Amino acid sequence: MTLAIAVDVLIAAAWIVLGADNLRLARRERPARASVAARAARLGFLVVLLAGAALLERRTGGRFAFHPLAAAAGVVLAAAGLALHLRARRTLGSRWSSAVTVQPGHLVVTTGPYAVVRHPLYLGVLLLAAGTALAHPSTATISIAGGLAAGIALKIPAEERSLRAHCGDAWRRYAAAVPALLPRPSRLRAALLNRAEP
């Protein structure tokens, strides 16, 4: 197995873990909410997305070039994104939803990675996408990363409006203290030190 193939396998495994974990947790936390039609639509969308990416990859010649250092950096970035997403997902628990919704009695989550950035789930996906594009630079991976970034850029303001409307001052105080996606070095350092303490 060449190094390029090993890198591709690691990147694909990271996306598979992310998808499988989200499906498992969504099914466990909200088994009655999603209808069979909604699940079929999501699965159909995923199949079309993957088939489109594979077709684009094939038609454009695949990977532009393989650079071992860039690939290694991409794998590390993707792994960090996956780890952050999984940690944030566990911290959020049953309050997670793929749609922009606020549940009755919703409280602002300010612990774990949410103490460092307001949207660690999205930051994790962006890191995973950027790592993928770095490890396997191609028209398909760059297009997917760009599409994810555009979707997240549209979803964050909608979520924040909803949270501001439902959580009021608690959300405003949190949003004033914690950045949306790029952690402040002081908050990141404090979070790492708090985690390291016994």
pLDDT in tens, 48-96: 877 888 888 888 888 888 899 999 999 999 999 999 999 998 888 766 6
pLDDT at 76: 97
pLDDT in tens, 123-150: 999 999 999 999 999 998 998 899 999 9
Query: Measuring CA to CA, which residue among 108, 100, 88, 121 is closest to residue 191?
Result: 88
pLDDT at 97: 61
pLDDT at 196: 47
d(CA 147, CA 129) in angstroms, rounded, equals: 10
Between residues 191 and 114, the one the model is more confident about: 114
| DSSP-based three-state secondary structure for 104 | coil
Torsion of CA 56, 59, 60, 61, to 10 degrees: 120
Between residues 73 and 40, the one the model is more confident about: 73
pLDDT at 79: 97
Q: How is domain 3-196 classified at the CATH fold level?
A: Four Helix Bundle (Hemerythrin (Met), subunit A) (1.20.120)
d(CA 103, CA 95) in angstroms, rounded, equals: 7
pLDDT at 99: 56
Q: Please give the average per-residue pLDDT across 107-117, as a whole number.
A: 88
Whole-Å CA distances, 103 to 15, 22, 108: 28, 19, 11
Phi and psi, residue 100, nearest 5°: -75, 100
Q: What pTM was computed for the model?
A: 0.82
The one-letter amino acid at 166? H
pLDDT in tens, 171-191: 899 999 999 998 888 766 666
Q: Please give the average per-residue pLDDT across 40-44, as a whole number.
A: 71
pLDDT at 198: 41
d(CA 94, CA 26) in angstroms, rounded, equals: 8
Between residues 38 and 126, the one the model is more confident about: 126
